[in-house]
Chain A
């Protein structure tokens, strides 16, 4: 029985026929054949999107649909699976779709949501996760991944292996742990806390949020942090002596490496900390307007 069901969806998927969960509420449970390292695109306005990587060459979509959800389209062809929650035109009172989507673990996943919360676990391919006001909680292991929101908070867990990751939120906060490699982090008013292993290239910026970076720098690692009124806390272990280029217009510079802070001008504001060590060694650059900077290598 189950085998014939799989054959049925496999044939439909191979023909590129969209599978549709008719709605007006209720539930959805659809499975389509998928390429093990294909692309999966998911869009959902509100509710939840829970993505999970698994070992099967299939994409399975299950979940509950609000009364105003028209349908869920599931379309698989050419190595790409598209899952789209369709709402009728006009206002909606109950447009939540709470979806769990199982995908081949090597898939590349792209999720677009408005107010839906997004979570992801067990996916090893590249992930692009975007929401407007929803929260994102994701395990990220694929290179060239991106996580961003406008007002939602971001919780991101790396795999500990080096990768390139961009994470940004306008007014949400960011908590990134177990990352490594190259990282680009931006918040405007939200706080950001980054904990990472081998830090190769870290760029972090906030306007008014506080930013913390705890990292173990690679021998040629770079950390570039900037804030306007937010405070910067940089706890950076390194294999060699750090070269530092740190300056604040009206904030303070403190910490265990702040021994040789000097005033920028005898008569104006500003403090800076310039330490030059091995040219090719690890380097830290940090700038603020009025935020304080704490720098330490312990």
Chain B
């Protein structure tokens, strides 16, 4: 009765899960939101605990590629986009997704340091407003990553993750560079 599967395309294309998976995913997202609102030390490592490793890895590499593409786009825009957008693309032999991700992470951390310094010079009301927006961006990326961790192949989530990550970089650069020419 049970036929032996010899090729991957012999696998059934549509096997319904025994239950509605969304309830579990939704609960996990809500749990992640709650964890994000908790003190930092409590949430450290939590996301990687429940997020499937494959989904996380896919997300990370996807962002690396997306940001890399964003940098190339930024380079074509000219002098209005400075900073990270002007970084030189890596030589071909250093162009692996892992290295791109490492570069992205380093650039983002450097940008965050510069942005924090810039925020410190802003009037309190503006500082709070801008910081809240940057936090919104960061949180939106975490929300997308959380959903993508459970559904790594979801094209919509992949697209939103890439564009949100690029948008975060653009916003950080905009804040970092704000007022430079005028002061």
Chain A contact residues, CB within 8 Å of chain B: 43-45, 112-115, 128, 132-133, 146, 148, 150-151, 168, 170-171, 186, 188-190, 205, 207-208, 226, 228-229, 247, 249-250, 264, 266-270, 287, 289-290
Contact = CB atoms under 8 A, between A and B. Distances in A.
Contacts of B26: 250, 269
B25 to A, nearest CB: 7
Interface stretch (B36-44, B46-54, B100-108, B127-135): B127-135
Contacts of B163: 205, 226
The main secondary structure of chain B at its interface with chain A is helix
B131 to A, nearest CB: 9
Interface string B144-183: 1001000100101101100110010011001100110111
Interface stretch (B3-11, B14-22, B62-70, B86-94): B14-22
B114 interface: no
B162 to A, nearest CB: 11
A287 to B, nearest CB: 6
A207 B164 contact: yes
B136 A207 contact: yes
A249 B156 contact: yes
A250 B122 CA distance: 37
A168 B175 CA distance: 12
Interface size range of chain B in the complex:
35 or more
B134 A170 contact: yes
B41 to A, nearest CB: 26
The main secondary structure of chain A at its interface with chain B is loop
B83 to A, nearest CB: 15
Given A207-B140, A267-B17, A188 B122 contact: no
A268 B25 contact: yes
Contact of A270 (B156, B167, B183): B156
B109 interface: no
Contacts of A264: 156
A43 B181 CA distance: 8
Contact of B160 (A113, A208, A289): A289
A267 B21 contact: yes
B35 interface: no
B130 A267 contact: no
